[in-house]
Chain A
Amino acid sequence: MPEQNMQGQAEQKKRQPLFHMIKRNSLPLWHSVAIRAAAILLAFVFTGILTLLFTGKDPIRIAAIMFDGAFGNSLRTWVTFQNVAVLLCISLALTPAFKMRFWNTGGEGQVLIGCLATATCMFTLGGKLPDWLLIMIMTVAAIGAGILWGLIPAIFKARFGANETLFTLMMNYIAIQFVEFFLKVADKSGSNTVGPNLLSHGWIPALFGEKYLLNILLVAVLTVLMYIYLKYSKHGYEISVVGESENTARYIGVNVKRVILRTMALSGGICGFVGLMLVGATSHSIDTNLAGGYGFTGIMVAWLAQFNPLVMTFASLLIVFLQRGAGEVSTVAGLNQSFSDIVTGILLFFIIGCEFFIRYQLIPNREHKFFAKKQTQEEQVQ
């Protein structure tokens, strides 16, 4: 046995790491910004090379096509900003929960259930009530449904300590099934969608004739409000304390259960509001794909922005720009639409990867033979 130990130690000595990983204490702001910018730049270079390989078009032309896809005409610009508004709003909804270290992966379901509540009101009450009253009922129903969808896992977390990640995730599938059920009941023709021909009442009026404008303005206001709420309100402070340490929160007299319930109600409520906007204001239709995965992309946006609502605006814009731009590249070049997912994936990989370099520093290991050899060479030269 001792012999083996000796051998083990000897092996350990031989297997030296190439680099040492050291946790950074603090990093000047400009330094971390520079690292992130470099990551984004690298991601663009990498996707540029990839696109060049696939399409054979020069990178500048590709960039022009991407820009054209996102902002090429007024409709495209509106749709881009509408998508940014939706993605941003979902990220905003998730942020208070995340700050509290409550991993709300149920954004998609909370949005969908808001969509469903809105669509149900439009379908069953449409034409029977004046539109203004219908819109008010839709609003209450959508936000209420979102709150309910957020509260159910929160109650189980607060009372029984149930794992919220899995719970909220499963709630997504329940919401999707409910929507499926509604599609079957509302449209007997067998399409996978209930369109504007069936949801013809309770359309939220368009501001200045631009149907996306209201959403964009509301989300802009919400972004500022969320920033203030998290940074300057007592609730916001309680959320960060609970997130840092539940015991500390209890010690200073914060009612942890209440904060969990309240925050998740807020999170779900905002998601429900997104559902209202999607169905009531823009699409006037519902299908299981209406949230389009933004419930999950929103998680990424919230993390990328380090839970700062103002930074989230740029993160959402970046992701939506890439999606729509890459979508146009694939249409023009006759590529599969998955190309847009690939490009977004590459960008996220680089950005998330760069967080490592912000938190840790890599120092070359002087004892490693790779560097040791160099050293001896250098010494010899000297």
Chain B
Amino acid sequence: MKKILSLVLMLALLAGSCLVFASCGETERKGMTEDILPINTPTPDFTVDADFKIGFIFLHDENSTYDKNFIDAANRMKTALGLTDEQVIMKTNIPEGDECYTAAADLAGQGCKIVFADSFGHEPFLLQAAREFSNVQFCHATGTMAHTKDLPNFHNAFASIYEGRYLAGVVAGLKLNAMIAEGKITNDEAVIGYVGAFTYAEVRSGLTSFFLGARSVCPTATMKVQYTGSWYDEGKEQEAANALINAGCVLISQHADSMGAPSACEVAGVPNVSYNGSTYAAAPDTFLVSSAINWTPYFLYIAKCVANGTAIAHDWCGGIAEGAVVLSGLNQDAVADGTKAKLDEVIAQFRAGTLHVFALNTFTVNGQQLPADYMADVDTDAAYTADTAVIKGDATNGYYFSESTERSAPYFNMCIDGITELNSKF
């Protein structure tokens, strides 16, 4: 008797699930548009010698979105230059410690002309190796020491990703506008939630540019920020996203490397703006857009410098023009109408150099606009001493905080009005 019952139940379940799947298939998705700022690898206008070798040091492997972004870029460079496996050596899972020095020394010993490391904490160890191997070029992403240490063979690099974040912010702002227009939220309820890793300039600069982008189209937008104190912690990021959603945030973005926030948003049905690559596959209902840094232009640049025997700049910050800032396609099932046209307009302004993300007249700190003689801590010391004048522009065209020009890594480190940090202990 029991057997018959269970058989019947099983069949019923099967039939039910078939129906569900079938009905899922019926709702047609519009899917993604083409990439707004696509990854284009230019054909190199130079060739490297047969004995050219480049070594890479990665913090994790391709399972981390952060490192995958670098690994993919390195592979694109490899293809573009037609390098062999022996010419590109990749060391993965190198922690931020003495092992980084050993790896760098090992790569130099293998005859690499360039050694590149991708994580912030790699810097002192790469610097140590740079002092020892003066005929090898050491290039480091996200670091801050090249301009103060001033070694001829040690270089920092970054991208003006704040422009990419601003563009992503525009997408978010238009989405908020659409939600207001649909009557889903009121003007005052246009609250963005942001999951940040740490309170460092890199994160604060990113979240501020994202917010300014959103506010440029949705003037009533405000933002709440929750820090996790970790670059990669799926549980904490998910928790932070849920906390923000519960605190009334109607749109979420993040600067941390796991799928925690995007998946929490997909479950809650809250729109999400991603970073370092599209999360559309995991969140097809809520993913809006994603900005990322494309490192291939930098890799080609340093390879070219070495091939031609020219000096590598101690700081390199690539932007939209260099193809270093990229923006994914738009999720047509989630973004507001007219987003693409607006983005094209803003991108044109960036290309023309007429739009500055941190224009002083667009934000205040503690109710005050930044003074024209404002100084920031660019040379990084423990006390965060303000050491460099960073306001540029003139009275007619307006003044702006000049991000990433005094060194490649971001140094905008303020919490502007309109943004509330729910915790800031990290």
- Taking Cβ atoms with an 8 Å cutoff, the residues of A that contact B are 73, 75-76, 79, 187-193, 195-198, 278, 282-287, 289-290, 292, 331-332, 334, 336-338
Shortest Cβ-Cβ A-B pairs, 10 listed: A195-B124, A283-B98, A191-B121, A337-B93, A287-B97, A193-B96, A193-B121, A289-B95, A190-B200, A188-B382
Give Cα A292–Cα B127 distance, bound, in whole angstroms: 22
| With A75-B109, A290-B97, A290-B98: A285-B92 Cβ-Cβ less than 8 Å | no
Give Cα A339–Cα B185 distance, bound, in whole angstroms: 51
Q: Which residue of A lies closest to B124 (CB)?
A: A195
A285 and B109: CB pair below 8 A?
no
Give Cα A73–Cα B384 distance, bound, in whole angstroms: 43
A287 and B92: CB pair below 8 A?
no
A-B contacts, 11 of them at CB < 8 A, read A188-B382, A188-B384, A190-B120, A190-B200, A191-B123, A195-B124, A195-B128, A197-B145, A283-B97, A284-B98, A289-B97
CB distance from A167 to the nearest CB of B (A): 27
B120 and A197: CB pair below 8 A?
no
- B234 on the A face (CB < 8 A): no
B106 and A75: CB pair below 8 A?
yes
From 8 to 31 in chain B, residues with beta carbon under 8 angstroms from any chain A beta carbon are none
**New A-B pairs, 8, CB < 8 Å, besides A75-B106, A188-B382, A284-B98:** A79-B102, A187-B382, A190-B200, A198-B124, A285-B97, A285-B125, A331-B91, A337-B92
> Which interface class (under 10, 10 to 19, 20 to 34, 35 or more) fits B?
20 to 34
B200 and A195: CB pair below 8 A?
no
Give Cα A182–Cα B91 distance, bound, in whole angstroms: 28
Give Cα A195–Cα B128 distance, bound, in whole angstroms: 9
| With A76-B106, A337-B92: A191-B98 Cβ-Cβ less than 8 Å | no
B125 and A331: CB pair below 8 A?
no
A287 and B105: CB pair below 8 A?
no
Residues of A within 8 A of B102 (CB): 79
- B90 on the A face (CB < 8 A): yes
Give Cα A263–Cα B250 distance, bound, in whole angstroms: 61
Which of A188, A192, A337 meets B121, CB within 8 Å? Answer: A192
CB distance from B57 to the nearest CB of A (A): 11
CB distance from B92 to the nearest CB of A (A): 5
Interface string of B277-300 (1 = CB under 8 A from A): 000000000000000000000000
Residues of A within 8 A of B124 (CB): 191, 193, 195-198, 285
| With A189-B380, A190-B200: A283-B106 Cβ-Cβ less than 8 Å | no
Residues of A within 8 A of B101 (CB): 283
Residues of A within 8 A of B61 (CB): 336-337
A282 and B127: CB pair below 8 A?
no
B125 and A196: CB pair below 8 A?
yes
Give Cα A337–Cα B127 distance, bound, in whole angstroms: 24
CB distance from A69 to the nearest CB of B (A): 9
Q: Which residue of A lies closest to B199 (CB)?
A: A190
Q: Looking at B93, B98, B102, which has the most chain A CB atoms within 10 Å of its CB?
A: B98
CB distance from A66 to the nearest CB of B (A): 15
| With A189-B380, A287-B96: A195-B125 Cβ-Cβ less than 8 Å | yes
- B89 on the A face (CB < 8 A): yes
Give Cα A278–Cα B97 distance, bound, in whole angstroms: 11
Q: Looking at B121, B200, B380, which has the most chain A CB atoms within 10 Å of its CB?
A: B121
CB distance from A342 to the nearest CB of B (A): 13
Q: Which residue of A lies closest to B88 (CB)?
A: A334
Give Cα A290–Cα B97 distance, bound, in whole angstroms: 7
A190 and B198: CB pair below 8 A?
yes
- Taking Cβ atoms with an 8 Å cutoff, the residues of B that contact A are 61, 85, 89-93, 95-99, 101-102, 105-106, 109, 120-121, 123-125, 127-128, 144-145, 198, 200, 380, 382, 384
Give Cα A25–Cα B98 distance, bound, in whole angstroms: 48
A334 and B95: CB pair below 8 A?
no
Residues of B within 8 A of A337 (CB): 61, 91-93
Give Cα A189–Cα B92 distance, bound, in whole angstroms: 24
Give Cα A163–Cα B89 distance, bound, in whole angstroms: 47
Q: Which residue of A lies closest to B121 (CB)?
A: A191
Give Cα A191–Cα B121 distance, bound, in whole angstroms: 5
| With A79-B102, A331-B90: A193-B380 Cβ-Cβ less than 8 Å | no
CB distance from B95 to the nearest CB of A (A): 5
Which of B98, B198, B200 meets A285, CB within 8 Å? Answer: B98
Residues of B within 8 A of A334 (CB): 85, 90
Q: Which residue of A lies closest to B62 (CB)?
A: A336
Give Cα A65–Cα B98 distance, bound, in whole angstroms: 23
B96 and A192: CB pair below 8 A?
yes
CB distance from A353 to the nearest CB of B (A): 28
Which of B92, B127, B382 meets A336, CB within 8 Å? Answer: B92
| With A79-B102, A285-B125: A193-B97 Cβ-Cβ less than 8 Å | yes
Give Cα A192–Cα B106 distance, bound, in whole angstroms: 22
Residues of B within 8 A of A79 (CB): 102, 106
Give Cα A289–Cα B370 distance, bound, in whole angstroms: 42
CB distance from B274 to the nearest CB of A (A): 23
Residues of A within 8 A of B106 (CB): 75-76, 79
CB distance from A199 to the nearest CB of B (A): 9
CB distance from A122 to the nearest CB of B (A): 14
Give Cα A178–Cα B85 distance, bound, in whole angstroms: 42
Give Cα A76–Cα B108 distance, bound, in whole angstroms: 12
A282 and B98: CB pair below 8 A?
yes
| With A283-B101, A336-B61: A191-B120 Cβ-Cβ less than 8 Å | yes
Residues of A within 8 A of B123 (CB): 191, 195
CB distance from A127 to the nearest CB of B (A): 15
CB distance from B386 to the nearest CB of A (A): 14
| With A75-B105, A283-B97: A331-B128 Cβ-Cβ less than 8 Å | no
Residues of B within 8 A of A197 (CB): 124, 127, 145
Q: Which residue of A lies closest to B60 (CB)?
A: A337
Give Cα A205–Cα B124 distance, bound, in whole angstroms: 20
Q: Which residue of A lies closest to B384 (CB)?
A: A188
Residues of B within 8 A of A283 (CB): 97-98, 101
A191 and B96: CB pair below 8 A?
yes
Residues of B within 8 A of A289 (CB): 95, 97, 99
CB distance from A164 to the nearest CB of B (A): 29
Residues of B within 8 A of A284 (CB): 98
Q: Looking at A282, A283, A284, which has the most chain B CB atoms within 10 Å of its CB?
A: A283
Give Cα A197–Cα B130 distance, bound, in whole angstroms: 13
Q: Which residue of B lies closest to A83 (CB)?
A: B102
Which of B95, B127, B198 meets A287, CB within 8 Å? Answer: B95
Residues of A within 8 A of B105 (CB): 75
Q: Which residue of A lies closest to B149 (CB)?
A: A197
